[in-house]
Structure 1
Amino acid sequence: MLAPNIELLFTEAGPDHGDRARAAAAAGFDAVEVWSLDGKDLDSLAGAGVAVTAALVEYPPKTSFTFPGTDHAAYYAMVDRAVEDARRIGCPRLVLASGLGFPGASRERNLDILAEVFATVVERTAGSGVGFVLEPVNTRVDHPGALLDRTADAVRVARAVGSGRLGILYDLYHSITEGEDPAAELANAGGLVHYVQIADVPGRGEPGSGRIDWAAQRKNLRAAGYDGPVGLEYYPTVASAESVRYVKGEW
């Protein structure tokens, strides 16, 4: 299942994300993904006739794990609100970010703190029917300063939490931009890859606009046993309907 990101695609349909989702459906898609659900017309989105595969946990203002001793109550309240909205539109997973980490703490200690926080997230949302995926992002181009810039570290945190409701989001664009070998990262992650996003490198445009060998990457995902949804989180270089043709024809 391919899921265009309607923050970036089908924006020609206007500002309402329900209208964008309907435009995606008219282009032949059964699913879409979004960023934060904050401020969106959830009734319009839920009534668009397509599944919503993923959304971000974070609502403005963003909560980051920055200082030791920080009270995480506001963060957990944000998670609760995101889960409530996800349930309202039938979205099965929410994307977690790492924040910047705790200054002065080792990477290992930072990862342990993340595991503790996310274990609490999983516990407090038990029975919700909503799962979570932890996303590592590249720090070379898009997210300087982010703590989680390595797929293996996200895998470590997910394994430490040890819940089937928390896996990782493997974004081929971020991984390759960070200099990783997708085949090796996917093999190490095993069944912890619960969601995948794609964009080409360089430029984060639609697949086919850059240098990624997409036939090889599809093979890597199949070898890793991944058969779940694939989010199209890219900046189109042409009109949305044209930009998705390569993906729909080749994926």
Structure 2
Amino acid sequence: MYELAPNIELLFTEAGDYQDRVRAAAAAGFTAVEMWGPTGVDAPAQPKDIPALKAALEETGTKMVAQLSEPRTQFMIPPWDHSEFYRKLDEGVEIAHALGTPRIVVGSGTGFGGWKRQVQLDKLIEIYQKAIAQIEGSGITLVLEPVNVRVDHPGSLLDRTAEGVYVARGVDSPFFGVLYDIYHSAVEGEDMAAELAAAGDIVKYVQLADAPGRGEPGTGDLDWPDRLRILRGAGYDGPIGLEYYPTTESAASVAYIREVAAAA
């Protein structure tokens, strides 16, 4: 059985503020949640009250399994000043420690037309080797997310799982891996079984949404029993983030995927 983690930016918003969404998720039977930017920089709503969020997690015994890094630096855009990313990474680690979050999600930002793609990927390796060295000893794992460019993130450099794996292998740290998002991979037309077979234990976190539409499982064309069977067969047994836009009330939207995950 997989542990599912509703994204509190998108799910249980009916409950109110972020800390109330944690309580609502827990009341619905979830033991884990995930979120986007910890202080709201990348979130579509007001900044988060971290002490209140921490209190809600502790009160309910709920785990925060992933949060985004801030800001989402455009690494390949001149003048290539990444100082704010590194500064905020330290703040993100402090918040992760406060909330008990083991993973921080990072990305590539947009690419730069003046460099060959391989050069840009190698530059990402350098950037994240420095990031890993900076937070050494923190116990926090950075997970790099490839995202689709066909629908949601046009212009993003990293849109292929294999290239995320290439960067992660180049960083070469047990505290750096890939976030495999089933939705983004499907939109890009990837073969999930082949991608996961090539990635091996580099995949350190998974998220999902149905495709097309990025709604809850059951609203699109993906075969979810088969998708989770492939995931299990690839050896992944960690939590799965529910990062979708619900088409109905949150508690109803999770019913099908909870049933599938319980049997996976």
Task: Flag whether TM exceeds 0.5 (same fold).
Answer: yes
Cα distance, 1:47 vs. partner? 1.8
The correspondence for 2:112, drawn from 88, 93, 102, is 102
Alpha-carbon separation, structure 1, partners of 2:245 and 2:82:
33
Q: Deviations over 1:129-154 (max 9, x none)?
A: 11110000000000000000000000
Cα distance, 1:249 vs. partner? 1.3
Does structure 2 conserve the Cα–Cα contact (< 8 Å) formed by 1:198 and 1:234? yes
Cα distance, 1:68 vs. partner? 4.9
Instruction: Give 4+ residue runs of structure 1 displaced > 4 Å after superposition.
Output: none
The correspondence for 2:140, drawn from 119, 122, 130, is 130
Does structure 2 conserve the Cα–Cα contact (< 8 Å) formed by 1:66 and 1:103? no
Does structure 1 conserve the Cα–Cα contact (< 8 Å) formed by 2:35 and 2:66? yes
SS of the aligned residue for 2:146 comes to: coil
Does structure 2 conserve the Cα–Cα contact (< 8 Å) formed by 1:67 and 1:103? no
Alpha-carbon separation, structure 2, partners of 1:75 and 1:248:
36
Does structure 2 conserve the Cα–Cα contact (< 8 Å) formed by 1:54 and 1:94? yes
Query: Taking every aligned residue pair, what percent have the same amino acid on both sides?
Result: 56
Cα distance, 1:122 vs. partner? 0.4
Cα distance, 1:69 vs. partner? 5.1
What is the match of residue 35 of structure 1?
A: 36
**TM-score, normalising length: structure 1:** 0.96
Q: Which runs of 5+ in 1 are unaligned?
A: none
Q: Deviations over 1:78-131 (max 9, x none)?
A: 211111111111100000010112331111000000000000000000011111
The correspondence for 1:55, drawn from 59, 67, 89, is 67
What is the match of residue 21 of structure 2?
A: 20
Does structure 1 conserve the Cα–Cα contact (< 8 Å) formed by 2:76 and 2:120? no
**Segment of structure 1 superposing worse, 79-88 or 107-116:** 79-88
SS of the aligned residue for 1:169 comes to: strand
SS of the aligned residue for 1:53 comes to: strand
Residue identity in the other structure for 1:11: T
Q: Deviations over 1:143-191 (max 9, x none)?
A: 0000000000000000000001000000000000011010000001000
- How many residues are paired up? 248
SS of the aligned residue for 2:152 comes to: coil
What is the match of residue 2 of structure 1?
A: 4
Does structure 1 conserve the Cα–Cα contact (< 8 Å) formed by 2:204 and 2:238? yes
Alpha-carbon separation, structure 2, partners of 1:193 and 1:176:
16
The correspondence for 1:113, drawn from 97, 109, 123, is 123
Residue identity in the other structure for 1:5: N
**TM-score, normalising length: structure 2:** 0.92
Counterparts of 1:228-247 in structure 2 under 5 Å?
Answer: 228-247=238-257
Cα distance, 1:27 vs. partner? 0.2
Counterparts of 1:132-171 in structure 2 under 5 Å?
Answer: 132-171=142-181
What is the match of residue 79 of structure 1?
A: 89
